[in-house]
Structure 1
């Protein structure tokens, strides 16, 4: 990271100075209610959809939740988190942690050199960014789930991205823009586009998600199934997932339906059609080549399902999107 920016993020905050004098976390800085739910109204300037604040060091940060999407970026050192009361996670330099409003978080004391940046993100901040990520993408589905107050099977996403230079550059760009711009319009607009690029980049590395938290067996089993469908949508089978996970096919199908509302066949169809839509919009391949490429040999079935999903024929979709 740029040395000037790192030096700025490393400065002791007013809160940290009080903590070093013996004070504890002042919950009124973050929350107005009895339950420790960190309130975006306490942290966001009026008119902003995004804000950053350095993570408070030198103290145990008690268990809490958020009424917004939080993205934690570990700039240097590491921080130790307990998520949902049971999952232990060490966030290392260059790594990302997304938390939705259904997640709880507890953080062990950080040292002076453990620099983390917390992004406070309102759901509407992602309106433009989500359009840059294809339907069926795991990260996209996670962010959409933040719009629902109901519990989600996936409440956090951990990305071990220290070795991915584009991610580091995009995170530094967002931090720089927020700390060096006065205009709320510029901050919101530029960072919405940057977030879209970040989500696109992370989508390529979705196979790395939550590898460090094997304790949530059902969640990780579901992630394995979703990652398999994402990579093997052309000729994937429920039997192959069952063999990979050492679980019966009915259990995998039931798990998918329970947590996502779709069974295996519905997920496979959605992923194939999503890829077809992308190819129609971004290539000059014939429609026959496209439906063959995604795994279909029955043109009438493909045409029918595509129209049911997108409300128009593949030909009309291409005309509207190219």
Structure 2
């Protein structure tokens, strides 16, 4: 990140100066409306805004709290230690941390050179972001959908150790600049940039850590990544053999987490891709069928019509 931007972000805030002058606690009036420890977006966001940023408060312990908004932390440099729902999360330079409204967070004191940026985001901001992402299935999409509902899906936080992923780092720098300059004026650009960020993160499953890194969830992440990448030739038996898991156990994991089976998940991905080809290319249907993994074009036609209730031609014509 550019030195000029880091210098801007590392500036001592009035709250931090009071802490350095002897205050031992955070200034509750900045964050809370009442004695309850729920940080209120209304105090941090200017009226009408769906998203804004503020530097993470340094030099002081931030006691356990919740938020009535989605919080997204980017570690610009240095490191910080967070406890989320009792789980210790160490953020280092370049890492990303997403928390929904249901997460309980506590933060250990950070030093002068430990620079983190907190994104304060109202759930409505993600409506447009999800539209731009489309129907892609991923843990991150499930998390965003959970932010728009009364209960989180798959845990209350996601942590990405993506310091070495250059496109993610570039997008984060762009987002911060947009937010510092004029967050309301740049809302649409911010949503587009956020959507691009999420699309990149969806391909970083090996860098993703969740609230419950259980074996089942890890296997589901691996499977979804496999289907998204190799949908043309994907095989359930090949996946199970490669990942040293028996077919029965993996089938149970898929059913438990999705209510579907491998064949259904693969078919949905192939149909999604076929629809994309129909709407965005002039390829003949026979070639599209082969491109998504079906050598039998007649079978592809029947499956497509069963899935969407209309023919590939009708979809191409927008009928």
**TM-score with structure 1 setting the length:** 0.86
Query: Partner residue of 2:252?
Result: 254
**Residue 85 of structure 2 is aligned to residue 90 of structure 1:** no
Residues in 2 aligned to 1:215 and 1:142: alpha-carbon distance in whole angstroms: 15
SS in 1 for 2:317: helix
**Residue 103 of structure 2 is aligned to residue 103 of structure 1:** yes
Which stretch shifts more, 222-231 or 27-36?
27-36
Query: Partner residue of 1:24?
Result: 25
Q: CA RMSD for the aligned pairs?
A: 2.7
The equivalences for 1:162-173 within 5 A come to: 162-173=163-174
- Aligned with 2:226 (options 222, 225, 228): 228
For residue 77 of structure 1, report the CA deviation from its aligned partner. Answer: 0.8
Residues in 2 aligned to 1:231 and 1:123: alpha-carbon distance in whole angstroms: 30
C-alpha contact 2:205 2:222 (8 A) present in aligned 1: no
Residues in 2 aligned to 1:287 and 1:229: alpha-carbon distance in whole angstroms: 22
For residue 50 of structure 1, report the CA deviation from its aligned partner. Answer: 0.7
SS in 1 for 2:82: strand
Residues in 1 aligned to 2:215 and 2:71: alpha-carbon distance in whole angstroms: 24
Query: Partner residue of 2:293?
Result: 295
C-alpha contact 2:124 2:148 (8 A) present in aligned 1: no
C-alpha contact 2:304 2:310 (8 A) present in aligned 1: yes
1:64 and 1:290, CA in 2 relative to 1: closer, same or farther beyond 3 A? farther
Query: Partner residue of 2:148?
Result: 147
Residues in 2 aligned to 1:104 and 1:231: alpha-carbon distance in whole angstroms: 35
1:31 and 1:176, CA in 2 relative to 1: closer, same or farther beyond 3 A? same
Query: Partner residue of 2:203?
Result: 204
Query: Partner residue of 2:264?
Result: 266
For residue 191 of structure 1, report the CA deviation from its aligned partner. Answer: 0.9
Give structure 1 stretches of 5+ with no counterpart: none
1:16 and 1:301, CA in 2 relative to 1: closer, same or farther beyond 3 A? farther
Which stretch shifts more, 265-274 or 70-79?
265-274
1:39 and 1:251, CA in 2 relative to 1: closer, same or farther beyond 3 A? farther
Query: Partner residue of 1:318?
Result: 316
Query: Partner residue of 1:10?
Result: 10
SS in 2 for 1:65: strand
1:272 and 1:31, CA in 2 relative to 1: closer, same or farther beyond 3 A? farther
